Amino acid sequence: MPGDCTLLFHKKFAPNPLHASARGAARGLCLTPAGPAPRRGGVRRSRAERGPPTAAAEPPGSSMTPGKKLEGLVAAAITPMTPDGQINLSVICQYVDYLVREQNVKNIFVNGTTGEGLSLSIQERKQLAEEWVRQGKDKLDHVIIHVGALSLPESQDLARHAAAIGASGIAVIAPFFFKPTNKDELVAFLQKVASEAPGVPFYYYHIPPLTGVKIRVEELLDGIREQIPTFQGVKFSDTDLLDLAQCINKNGSEQFAFLYGVDEQLLGALAVGVNGAVGSTYNYLGRKTELMLQAFAKPDLALAQKYQFLIGEFLNFVIKLGFGVAQTKAVMTFVSGIPMGPPRLPLVNASEEFIAKAKAKLDSIAWPNSD
Ligand SMILES: CC(=O)N[C@@H]([C@@H](O)[C@H](O)[C@H](O)CO)[C@@H](O)CC(=O)C(=O)O
């Protein structure tokens, strides 16, 4: 049946009927990729039109789950592409169902690093954002759109667009060609983008290994809400746990969401108090990582370590082979069965040798409580 990707997964994954997301998915509503995202309850003003949130400490609303704080696992969305390199919106419906049912992941971070956001045109980024919001409606809790760009007007345009389509949040990376040299310059850039979407939760995306912008987040957060009232948290993709710990110690993980982005050492970040994580591996190791989170919360540190060691064993193996976005696309393709396609140049396809070795490694891992 056209537009009903649920059927592809119907037999394999039985949704938990108690879960609202599963109920939505069970209705099999994959919306067609055309036109603006549908609104609940008829005409609704966009977030940009509705103005700023009333209480600074309260998360501004979300079209997925209004007011729900962003926490737990967030999959860094891969951008599916056709063999000839066009974005492939047609599989996003299946992708959403796969994340929810097979990986129990209900939050997505669109157009980031894994999504090759900075390699896409503005038009492609908008189309992807619209499709994720459309397909995530009633199935996902949060759809966060990365709107960072080297050009401020482009970033502002993407922020306005994300607000207009009802995204749950926006995130912005530091500009990395002409780089901000200090906190004030970085905050000025972020503020100009955030103010274009005054009702949408705003997250700073800190990824110094790729941007080269090493301004400490601890410093950035000092007084941030005075400049950016919608500031909601940080996607922290760096190994500097001292900076992360100081951020949490000074601000509290109740006020802001701290989401860690180095999947191979998430347990260390949990120990200093992060609220959750955004990463590429939650696309296909979401359930395993969720079990690590549960073990940590119990607390069963030995079991949490076991999961982290095994996740690390896989990542250590593939990192030695050469691991990046192209390889993530290949791994997700063989694990989920959903074709993610090639990456966009300058990235090139993972080799057949990589795929065979990565698959054999993943299959060989003996997970505790394996299901
Ligand atoms: C540099 C990089 O791609 N880091 C990934 C990690 O999930 C990474 O793939 C993982 O830790 C394996 O090294 C994420 O932080 C990126 C991410 O969240 C994004 O796609 O925006």
Please state the rounded mean pLDDT for residues 47-65: 41
CA atoms within 13 A of residue 259's CA, in its CB half-sphere: 28
* 142, containing H or E segment: strand 142-146
CATH number of the domain at 215, please.
3.20.20.70
User: Mean of the pLDDT values across residues 191-212?
Assistant: 98
| pLDDT for the residue numbered 18 | 25
More confident residue, 356 or 41: 356
Q: Is the pLDDT of residue 306 over 80?
A: yes
Domain that holds residue 251: 21-286
Per the DSSP assignment, residues forming a β-bridge with 234 are 204, 258
Instruction: Lowest mean pLDDT of 14-23, 92-101, 140-149, 290-299, name the range.
Output: 14-23
Q: Return the percentage of the chain with pLDDT > 90, whole number.
A: 80
> Residue 252 has what pLDDT?
87
Q: Which of 118, 262, 267, 314 to mutate to test the pocket of ligand 1 (most atoms within 8 A of CB)?
A: 262
pLDDT of residue 49 exceeding 50, the answer is no
> pTM value?
0.86
Look at residue 76 and give its three-state secondary structure: strand
Residue 166 buriedness (CB in 10 A; 0-12 / 13-18 / 19+): buried
Report yes or no on 167 lying in a domain: yes
Higher-pLDDT residue of 12 and 74 is: 74
Is residue 15 scored above 70 in pLDDT? Answer: no
Asked if residue 128 is part of any domain, the answer here is yes
Percent of the chain with pLDDT over 70: 81
User: Is there a domain that residue 106 lies in?
Assistant: yes
Q: Is the pLDDT of residue 109 over 50?
A: yes
Dihedral angle sign, alpha carbons of residues 189, 195, 197, 203:
positive
Asked if 159 contacts 147 with a C-beta cutoff of 8 angstroms, the reply is: yes
Taking the CA of residue 146 as reference, the ligand 1 atom at the shortest distance is 21
Q: Determine the residue type at 205.
A: Y
Domain-embedded: residue 262: yes
Q: What is the mean pLDDT of residues 340-355?
A: 98
Angle formed at CA 211 by CA 210 and CA 212, multiple of 5 degrees: 100
Sign of CA dihedral 255, 268, 221, 48: negative
Asked if residues 199 and 166 have their Cβ atoms less than 8 Å apart, the reply is no
Residue having the nearest C-alpha atom to atom 2 of ligand 1: 113
CB-CB contact of 129 with 161 (8 Å): yes
Q: Whose CA is nearest to atom 14 of ligand 1?
A: 279
| pLDDT for position 253 | 80
Which distant-in-sequence residues (6+ apart) come within 8 Å of 124 by Cβ? 87
Inter-CA distances, 219 with 136, 183, 187, 271, Å: 35, 7, 11, 21
Total domain count for the chain?
1
Number of neighbouring beta carbons within 10 Å of residue 135: 26
251 versus 46: the higher-pLDDT residue is: 251
Mean pLDDT of 129-139: 97
Point out the ligand 1 atom lying closest to the alpha carbon of residue 279.
7
Per-residue pLDDT, averaged over 144-160, amounts to 98
Q: How far apart are CA 357 and CA 8, in angstroms?
A: 28
Mutate to test the pocket of ligand 1, among 280, 317, 323 (most ligand atoms within 8 A of CB): 280
Beta-ladder partners of 81: 87
Looking at residue 69, its pLDDT comes to 87
pLDDT bin (cut points 50, 70, 90) of residue 14 is very low
ipTM over 0.95: yes
Ligand 1 centroid from CA 279, angstroms: 5
Split at pLDDT 50, 70, 90, the class of 54 is very low
Dig out the tokens for 98 from the structure: 């796969």
In this structure, is residue 331 part of a structural domain?
A: no
| 308, part of any domain | no
Kindly state the tokens that stand for 28. Answer: 């099999």
The C-alpha atoms of residue 213 and residue 140 are separated, in whole angstroms, by 32
Specify the pLDDT at position 65.
Answer: 66
Catalytic: 203?
no
Query: Residue type for 48, please?
Result: A
The answer to the question of residue 163 being in a domain is: yes
Q: Is 297 contained in some domain?
A: no
